[in-house]
Amino acid sequence: MKEVNPIKDVKKIKKVKRLMIKDGNFRDLLMFTLGINAGLRISDILTMRWKDLVRKDGHIRDEVIVKEKKTKKTKKFPLNGAVIRAIEMYVQNTPIVDLNGFVFISRKKKENGETRPISRVAAWQSINKYCKKAGIEQNVGTHTLRKTFGYHQYKRGTDIAMLQKMLNHSSPEITLRYIGIEREKMNARYKAVEL
């Protein structure tokens, strides 16, 4: 499996979103927006149900609680404006039928006819397609979303200890390596010293 990196260029992030909106792909817009704004793993995003994002009265939740599949830890976080707008666009174009239903529903059904969420492969295909259309030439995968979240949190001043906690990493060093900052700093040092 190829290593993927964060999307560092905010203009390209915005272009990915514009392309998804232009195509009317509001499901994947929400998946992408949630991934880069919440730092969740794709496995936790794809299994979300509407009740995780929307209350019984139809209003969008202020905060979301997710039990992470990988760590089994509970993660609680508020939804920011970008995610709320993406939810609103999706709901306007695909009304919620069942609060217990999956948010990122696949057209393919289980053998018994029940709905299921899209697969990791389908998520990767969509993310990859739109990133390529937006001119992002680096390796892109579903993990790009989580790394993008971490990278931009760090670049906008989030303390590394706080970011480590947000990503549920075991050390600051792992977090810096994960979001590509360690490599960035090393490369800068190589370039800074000329003998």
Determine how β-strand 115-117 pairs with β-strand 105-109: antiparallel
**Which residue in the block uniquely carries the two structure tokens 């030439």?**
137
Catalytic residue, candidates 17, 146, 147, 152: 146
Instruction: Domain 10-192: state its class.
Output: mainly alpha
178 included as an active-site residue? yes
Task: Give pLDDT, residue 113.
Answer: 73
pTM of the complete model: 0.91
Task: Give pLDDT, residue 1.
Answer: 60
Beta carbons within 8 Å of 161's beta carbon, 6+ residues apart = 172
Write the single-letter amino acid at 104: F
Question: In the chain, which stretches have pLDDT less than 50?
Answer: none
132 included as an active-site residue? no
Please report, in angstroms and rounded to a whole number, the separation of the first and last CA atoms in the chain: 38
**Which residue in the block uniquely carries the two structure tokens 């009265």?**
57
156 included as an active-site residue? no
- The CA angle 95-97-99, to the nearest 5 degrees, is 110
Catalytic residue, candidates 11, 59, 70, 156: 70
- The CA angle 41-77-131, to the nearest 5 degrees, is 40
169 included as an active-site residue? yes
**Each residue of 71-93: pLDDT tens digit?**
888 999 999 999 999 999 999 99
